[in-house]
Structure 1
Amino acid sequence: MTETIGLDFGTSNTVAVSATGTGGTVPVSFADGAEAFTSLPTVLSFLDRSPARGPHPEVGPWAIRQFLESYGDVRFIQSLKSFAASAAFKGTGIYGSRFEFEDLMATFLKCAFERAGSAFDPASVRLVVGRPVEFAGHSPDEALAMSRYRAAFEKLGFRDILFVMEPVGAAFSYAQSLEQDTTILVADLGGGTTDYSLMRFETNAGHLSATPLGRGGIGIAGDTFDYRIIDNVVLPKLGKGSSYKSMGKVLEIPPNFFSNFARWHMLSIFKTSDDFKEMKKLLRYCLDPEKIELFIDLVEEDQGYPLYKSVSETKARLSCEDGAELTFAPLGKDFRAEVSRQDFERWIAPDLKKMDKALDATLEKSGLAEKHIDRVFMTGGTSFVPAVRRQFAERFGEERISGGNELTSVANGLALIGAREDAGDWALAA
């Protein structure tokens, strides 16, 4: 039987699961010293080496360590998936080597499988890849994203490649525990996107089948929530809302400078942009120069990941506490900001409304109402946010909400689908 791997290439984390051939699955595991984990941070770094050897890539925690220990000689890339559907992203130069999106994606996956110690021939493996219902970004180009995905996997030598909607993978994983025919709404709430999928699962003579009823989504999820904390707590310390003098007038510093910084996966691009050069020119005219100096220092010192880590940890604590303290030494050794869950929920309220409207549209297109949904399965890291869970519970009733294996359910379902004889029926058309 062909070996099958389910791959959930996520904005924040990547998970791979292998089907055993006996109806079970085994997560691909990574070991970093004594620590073992199945969810690999989707970060990629390149260490500058001699031109003859080219840049040395690393992934996950090894990339983070390489970045922190090799100051000034490392190119650090995160939220790579956010660029997949962007026609504006034309590739990037890294220490004399040119990398298109598919090169970056292939490099990340190659290093990931090597770090996992996976020994398989890509040409003999069926790879079932999850894709979001809606790609993240402004005016995402779905066809471009899928062509880039295919090119990346072909570079790695995979030939048998199936693409399945991420929430369909999660739904299939959850459906293994169903004891009766059920209509399911899957809400896959990740880092970059929120995806909805409506499916009817039925069992006939022990054979599980599914009928897709509708799908939808929006490019809002955990990364957007992180941005709200940065926008309200961090950016004022970096000069957002401050002014500069020009030709006798007092003008506000362009807000787009700060939005570029807040979206940390754009930091490396912003660092070499005309906007950043303009920001440095404005410094001498700023009314709060110490804040802008701090802004410039954080960009030049590549503090995007440390900031991301601090903000994400704060957000995670707000899932179980009424308040959490955000500390970030580069903002000053005495910098401490108390973030209350109440404030956080107020900041993300407009995003929650947009997510809810996207669900309205999904239900409307499918011709279904809340009463027709038997179970709601929530998956992805953002499903832990209390305000998100509460919104679903208020709409569908707590008794219909299910969860579990939030970080691995998509990849697990993809692997199970790939092991089926009718796997092609679950996949998207090529």
Structure 2
Amino acid sequence: PAFTETVIDNRRYGFEDLLSAFLFRVKAHAGAALDELPPRVIVGRPVTFAGGSDEQLALQRYETAFARLGFTDIRYAYEPVGAAFFFARQLTTAATVLVADFGGGTSDFSIVRFEPAPDGMRSTALARSGVGVAGDAFDYRIIDRLVSPELGKGGDYRSLGKILPIPQRYYAAFARWDQLALLKASRDMKDIRSIARNALEPDKLESLVEVLDDNHGYALYQSVSRLKMDLSTHETAQFSFSAGAVDIEQTVARSEFEAWIAPEIAQIEAAIDRAVEQSGLAPEAIDRIFLTGGTSFVPAVRDLFHKRFDASKIETGGEFESIASGLALIGREADLELWSDRRSPEAEAL
């Protein structure tokens, strides 16, 4: 389900409240440079929102947050298109570019044709596609295999003279580390404590309670990220998570990790093929491939492109700046209607 709200110091905050608070903080850090904001802002958006989230609800929340800063012309551009504009700065000749943007929760693809023109590069959008899986889904696979079993997943507990399985839903929250804080504040936490007292392996459930009570979620995901990075450059790596009394160590082979994430890799592969098919081009007609985002370093992800394109065409970079810089370049375009959209009047009425 979509995030609705959180409570901080007995005050409720919706997503738009959190985003606008962040934006005001950014504005404050910028000082005089952002004292007077222009009426227009170009906001990046994924091709497909993570988890199949309601697109109009997501855009409405963006709209509310940016409007609070005073923007009156709020336009949305696809994030891989922004990355394409960033990449096009280095082009000196005509080229058809496939951009793959791998975020935390989405993998987005865009194919754009760039051609020299008297006033710079003329650009034509050819195709786009996306899927709501990326690095977060890979993280969950690691946790589901290495961590959740050590926290009681798959175990049993006693209740009214019966042996029952521990509910799997408690471990679904590990799909996103920020969801662990919500689990801690939910009604399920009372049930988890009760099950821990009656579990056949109480030590494991006590470890689950500790991870939740002591907010070890962020440290856990740092350990997961280290494993992913290590497996990107080594055939085997050590997973190590130590926080409080919880200590989990295990050696992982890259082949194991790739087997765990095979369902997500298949979805990403299908999205790449949809973009190429939509463009009407053969793979060899695409001149350059630009991969951006941390998940692009995962060998199984890179192999998807090496299977389809010549290695000399593939480049990586701009992990922390490609989209933001590209959105700024889109804002300079003479015809913004080609590259950005406003929310429809029907959507705004919702």
Native 8 Å contact 1:381 1:407 kept in 2: no
Match of 2:8 among 87, 91, 94: 94
Query: What SS does structure 2 have at the residue aligned with 1:273?
Result: coil
CA distance 1:385–1:118, shift in 2 (3 Å)? farther
1:252 corresponds in structure 2 to 165
Judge conservation of contact 2:86–2:329 (CA < 8 Å) in 1: yes
Secondary structure at the aligned position of 1:241 is classed as coil
Task: Report if the CA contact (8 A) 1:294-1:331 is conserved.
Answer: no
Partner of 1:23: none
CA distance in 1, matches of 2:49, 2:296: 18
Q: Which sits farther off after the overlay, 149-158 or 254-263?
A: 254-263
Query: How far off its partner does 1:336 sit?
Result: 2.2
What does residue 149 of structure 1 align with? 62
Q: Which amino acid aligns with 1:94?
A: I
Pairing partner for 1:124 from 38, 47, 61: 38
The 1-side partners of 2:131 and 2:29 are apart by 33
Query: Which residue identity does 1:266 align to in structure 2?
Result: Q
SS in 2 for 1:395: coil
Q: Which amino acid aligns with 1:174?
A: F
* Farther-moved stretch of structure 1 (331-340 vs 348-357): 331-340
Residue 282 (str. 1) matches residue 192 (str. 2): no
Aligned to 2:291: 378
CA RMSD of superposed structures (Å): 2.1
State the number of aligned residues.
343
Contact kept, 8 Å, 2:136 with 2:175, in 1: the verdict is no
Select 1:422's aligned residue among 335, 341, 349: 335
Q: Tell me if structure 2 keeps the 8 A contact 1:167–1:410.
A: yes
Question: In structure 2, what is the Cα distance between the partners aligned to 1:335 and 1:207?
Answer: 55
Identity value in percent? 47
Q: 1:296 deviation in Å?
A: 0.8
Report if the CA contact (8 A) 1:122-1:159 is conserved. no
- Superposed CA deviations along residues 278-323 of structure 1, whole A, max 9, x for unmatched, are 2222223210011001101110111111111121122112222222
Match of 1:180 among 80, 84, 93: 93
> What is the DSSP-based 3-state SS (H/G/I as helix, E as strand, rest coil) of the residue aligned with 1:405?
coil
Q: Distance in 1 between matches of 2:32 and 2:339?
A: 26
Alignment match, 2:47: 133
Task: State the 1:145 CA deviation.
Answer: 0.7
Q: For each residue in 1:20-71, what CA deviation from the matched residue of structure 2 results, as whole angstroms up to 9, or x when unmatched?
A: xxxxxxxxxxxxxxxxxxxxxxxxxxxxxxxxxxxxxxxxxxxxxxxxxxxx
Q: Could you tell me which residue of structure 2 aligns to residue 392 of structure 1?
A: 305
Distance between the aligned counterparts of 1:299 and 1:368, measured in 2?
A: 50
Residues 292-307 of structure 1 correspond to what in structure 2 (within 5 A)?
292-307=205-220
Does structure 2 conserve the Cα–Cα contact (< 8 Å) formed by 1:243 and 1:250?
A: yes
Deviations 1:379-424 (A, max 9, x none): 1111111221122111222122122222211111111222333344
The 2-side partners of 1:333 and 1:302 are apart by: 12
Shift of 1:245: 2.4
Q: Relative to structure 1, is the Cα distance of residues 333 and 425 closer, same or farther in structure 2, using a 3 angstrom cutoff?
A: closer
Contact 1:220 1:351 (C-alpha < 8 Å) held by counterparts:
yes
Q: Partner residue of 1:30?
A: none
TM-aligned CA deviation for residue 358 of structure 1? 1.9
Question: Residue 323 of structure 1 aligns with which residue?
Answer: 236
Check the 8 A contact 2:147/2:248 in 1, yes or no. no
Output the TM-score relative to the length of structure 2. Answer: 0.91
Quote how far apart the aligned CAs of 1:331 are. 6.5
Aligned to 2:346: none
Residue 233, structure 1, aligned to residue 134, structure 2: no
User: Does the 8 A contact of 2:207 with 2:245 survive in 1?
Assistant: no
SS, match of residue 100 in structure 2: strand
- For residues 118 and 397 of structure 1, what CA distance do their matches in structure 2 show? 47
Q: How far, CA to CA, are the matches of 1:179 and 1:281 in structure 2? A: 66
Alpha-carbon distance in 1 for matches of 2:69, 2:191: 41
CA displacement at 1:221 relative to structure 2: 0.7
1:32 corresponds to: none
Distance 1:336 1:118, change over 3 A: farther
What is the rounded CA distance, in whole Å, between the counterparts of 1:313 and 1:112 in structure 2?
29
How has the CA–CA distance of structure 1 residues 315 and 113 changed in structure 2, closer, same or farther, with 3 Å as cutoff? farther
Q: What is residue 57 of structure 1 aligned with on the other side?
A: none
Matched with 1:108 is: 22
- Greater CA drift, 159-168 or 331-340: 331-340
Equivalent AA in structure 2 for residue 106 of structure 1: S
Greater mean deviation of Cα atoms: 114-123 or 238-247:
114-123
- Any stretches of 5+ residues in structure 2 without a counterpart? 344-350
Partners of 1:248 and 1:369 lie apart in 2 by: 64
Q: Unpaired runs of 5+ in structure 1? A: 1-85
- Tell me the residue number matched to 1:54: none
Taking the aligned partners of 1:341 and 1:272, their CA distance within structure 2 comes to 36
Query: How far, CA to CA, are the matches of 1:123 and 1:334 in structure 2?
Result: 49
Amino acid at match of 1:134: T
Stretch of structure 1 that moved more, 305-314 or 118-127: 118-127
Q: CA deviation at 1:116?
A: 5.1
| Match of residue 413, structure 1, among 310, 323, 326 | 326
